[in-house]
Each structure stands twice: as structure tokens, then as C-alpha cells.
């Protein structure tokens, strides 16, 4: 039997009484496991298989699927049930982990999840301003872990250093970051971002462990949106619910 800690990212009904769970596990990365009989009322394992909980799980490799043999909750997700924004951030984190992590990625993502979740437990009710900043951090992390970091110092097309004076910058997710005024006319897919937005993204690239900041909410939100778009573009995924879930555009 294989044993590991893991976060439950997704659950999908299968047959009449079974389900598949997708787990981000400490030892095996993101894996799907068949949980037999867990949709029956009398299932002993079902109460340990709630979405976004951290669990300890055991499984064996069956002919077709991995089969869950043991599960127990280590840290329930709804611990901070009175703080909507905190839980929203965790749901967002789990959603992005499911979309942008793979079976062979383990240590870096696991320690990131653990660190962020335990950090979230310790902080007072999160302000919207901080929430946007943390979401931007989550996006930056998944861009970076997949090798899709945005280029901010130099133009992605010609390699020239960016002009530190200009207030607005051109950003192209397709090119992978900032593009200069000279190259800009040749690049169709781009958006204007403000200097402050680029500053936040730069800040994120240098300060992985910082959660407090003085950036205005609007700039954090712009940074979050820019990075989020880039992440979905780079991962060739279509965004589904996170934006609706947080009630922000
Ligand atoms: Zn250029």
C-alpha cells in the first residue's frame, strides 16, 4: 500500500456507488484514485473525503486504477467557515492546483500548498485588497513552477530594456511579457497595463514569502487578472469558475 498526505481537489461520481477523487499528494503529485463504495450512506471512508480537506490516504495500484484503501482527515477545509474570503482563496488555490499541476510535480507545489494554507489559517479575516494580492501570488506561482514566468525587464520581441519612464506598458501574454513601443505595432494580441501593475508583478517575482503590502487594490486586481489570463493562455486552458466564485471581474 502507498501512503501519503494529500489535498482533495476534485470528486467525480463513478458507477452507482463509487467515485473518483483527484488528489494533490505529497509523494505522488496529482493523481486520480478510485474510492469504492464511498457514495453509499454506510461508507466509513466517505466522511474523510470532503473537497479541499488535507487527508492522509492509502491506496493500492489496481489493474486499471489506483484504489483507495484508507483515508483520514488531517486538516478540514471549512475550519475558517466564518471568513468567506479566506475560504474563497483556498478554493481558488485548489482549482488552480488541479488545472496547472501534473503527476510528476511534487515537492515545490506541495510545500507551496502547505505554506499558503497554514498561513491563511493564521491571518485575521482577509481584506479584499489582500485577497487580490494573494490571488496574484497564486497565479505567479503556477506560471513560475511551469516555466511560464512573464518577462518584465526587457521587451519580449527585441530584447531591449524597458523604458522606466513610461506610465503605461504593453503586455502580451502570447509573447510572454512586456513589449516595447517600437515592437508594439507588430504585435496584435496585447493589452495596456499600468506601471503599478508591472511593479506588483515584479514584486511577486522577488518576494515569494511576502503577504502584506501597500499596493492599491485596483493594481493588485489588474496584476491578478493579467497573470490569470497569462496562466490560462500558457496552459491552454479555459477559465471556468474562479472569477464568478469570488464575485469579482
Ligand atoms: Zn521591442
Q: For residue 112, report the distance from its CA to the centre of ligand 1, in Å.
A: 34
What rounded mean pLDDT belongs to the chain?
Answer: 86
Query: What's the pLDDT at 249?
Result: 39
Q: Is 55 in contact with 48 (CB distance < 8 Å)?
A: yes
Identify the top-confidence range among 79-83, 192-196, 205-209: 192-196
Minimum mean pLDDT among 87-101, 153-167, 196-210, 235-249: which range? Answer: 235-249
Query: What's the pLDDT at 82?
Result: 59
Q: For residue 184, report the distance from its CA to the centre of ligand 1, in Å.
A: 7
List the 168-172 sheet strands across, edge first: 177-179, 168-172, 191-194
Judged against a pLDDT cut of 90, whether residue 206 lies above it is answered with no
Helix, strand, coil percentages, rounded to 5, for the chain: 40, 25, 35
**Distance in angstroms (rounded) separating the CA atoms of residues 190 and 52:** 35
pLDDT by residue (tens digit) across 92-114?
Answer: 899 999 999 877 777 899 999 99
Q: For residue 182, report the distance from its CA to the centre of ligand 1, in Å.
A: 6
Q: For residue 147, report the distance from its CA to the centre of ligand 1, in Å.
A: 22
Q: For residue 240, report the distance from its CA to the centre of ligand 1, in Å.
A: 33
User: Between β-strands 18-25 and 177-179, what pairing exists: parallel, antiparallel or unpaired?
Assistant: unpaired
Tell me, what DSSP letter sits at residue 236? T
pLDDT by residue (tens digit) across 148-194?
Answer: 999 998 999 999 887 777 788 999 988 999 999 899 999 988 899 99
Question: Who surrounds ion ligand 1 at CB < 5 A?
Answer: 155, 157-158, 180, 183
Q: For residue 148, report the distance from its CA to the centre of ligand 1, in Å.
A: 19
Q: What is the mean pLDDT of residues 220-227?
A: 92
Q: Is residue 223 very low, low, confident or very high in pLDDT (cuts 50, 70, 90)?
A: very high
Judged against a pLDDT cut of 90, whether residue 119 lies above it is answered with no
Q: Is residue 32 very low, low, confident or very high in pLDDT (cuts 50, 70, 90)?
A: very high
CATH no., domain 2-77: 2.40.50.140
Query: What's the pLDDT at 168?
Result: 85
Judged against a pLDDT cut of 70, whether residue 24 lies above it is answered with yes
Query: What's the pLDDT at 240?
Result: 64
**Distance in angstroms (rounded) separating the CA atoms of residues 213 and 202:** 13
Tell me the three-class secondary structure of 97-119, residue by residue: HHHHCCCCCCHHHHHHHHHHHHH
CA quadruple 196, 198, 201, 203: dihedral sign:
negative
Q: Is residue 237 very low, low, confident or very high in pLDDT (cuts 50, 70, 90)?
A: confident
**Distance in angstroms (rounded) separating the CA atoms of residues 199 and 211:** 15
Query: What's the pLDDT at 241?
Result: 54
Q: For residue 155, report the distance from its CA to the centre of ligand 1, in Å.
A: 5
Q: For residue 174, report the distance from its CA to the centre of ligand 1, in Å.
A: 14
> Which residues contact residue 190 at a Cβ distance below 8 angstroms, ignoring those fewer than 6 apart?
170, 171, 172, 175, 179, 184
Q: For residue 175, report the distance from its CA to the centre of ligand 1, in Å.
A: 11
Write down the residue that cell numbers 490571488 correspond to: 135
Query: What's the pLDDT at 140?
Result: 94
Q: How remote is the C-alpha of 53 from its chain's centroid?
A: 16
Q: For residue 199, report the distance from its CA to the centre of ligand 1, in Å.
A: 19
Q: For residue 100, report the distance from its CA to the centre of ligand 1, in Å.
A: 30
Judged against a pLDDT cut of 70, whether residue 115 lies above it is answered with yes
Identify the top-confidence range among 59-63, 120-124, 211-215: 59-63
Domain assignments of the chain as residue spans, ordered by start = 2-77, 127-150+187-246
Tell me, what DSSP letter sits at residue 130? H
Query: What's the pLDDT at 239?
Result: 67
Judged against a pLDDT cut of 70, whether residue 13 lies above it is answered with yes
Q: For residue 163, report the distance from its CA to the centre of ligand 1, in Å.
A: 10
Q: For residue 144, report the distance from its CA to the centre of ligand 1, in Å.
A: 23
Q: Is 132 in contact with 217 (CB distance < 8 Å)?
A: yes
Amino acid at each position: 500500500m502507498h501512503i501519503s498526505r494529500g489535498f482533495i481537489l476534485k470528486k467525480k461520481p463513478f458507477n452507482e456507488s463509487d467515485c473518483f477523487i483527484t488528489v494533490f499528494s505529497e509523494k505522488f503529485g496529482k493523481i486520480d484514485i478510485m474510492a469504492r463504495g464511498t457514495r453509499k450512506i454506510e461508507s466509513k471512508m466517505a466522511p474523510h473525503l470532503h473537497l479541499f480537506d488535507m487527508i492522509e490516504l492509502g491506496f493500492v495500484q489496481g489493474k486499471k486504477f489506483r484504489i483507495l484503501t484508507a483515508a483520514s482527515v488531517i486538516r478540514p477545509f471549512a475550519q475558517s467557515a466564518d471568513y468567506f474570503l479566506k475560504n474563497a482563496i483556498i478554493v481558488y488555490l485548489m482549482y488552480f492546483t488541479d488545472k496547472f499541476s501534473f503527476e510528476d510535480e511534487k515537492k515545490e507545489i506541495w510545500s507551496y500548498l502547505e505554506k499558503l494554507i497554514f498561513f491563511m489559517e493564521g491571518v485575521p479575516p482577509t481584506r479584499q485588497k489582500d485577497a487580490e494580492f494573494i490571488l496574484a501570488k497564486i497565479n505567479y506561482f503556477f506560471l513560475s513552477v511551469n516555466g511560464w514566468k512573464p518577462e518584465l525587464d526587457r521587451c519580449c520581441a527585441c530584447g531591449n530594456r524597458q523604458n522606466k519612464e513610461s506610465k503605461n506598458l504593453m503586455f502580451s501574454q502570447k509573447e510572454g511579457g512586456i513589449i516595447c513601443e517600437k515592437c508594439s505595432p507588430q504585435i496584435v494580441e496585447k493589452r495596456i497595463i499600468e506601471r503599478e501593475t508591472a511593479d506588483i508583478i515584479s514584486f511577486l517575482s522577488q518576494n515569494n514569502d511576502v503577504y502584506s503590502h501597500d499596493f492599491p487594490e485596483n493594481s493588485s486586481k489588474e496584476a491578478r487578472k493579467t497573470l490569470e489570463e497569462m496562466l490560462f493562455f500558457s496552459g491552454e486552458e479555459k477559465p471556468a469558475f474562479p472569477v464568478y466564485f469570488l464575485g469579482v471581474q
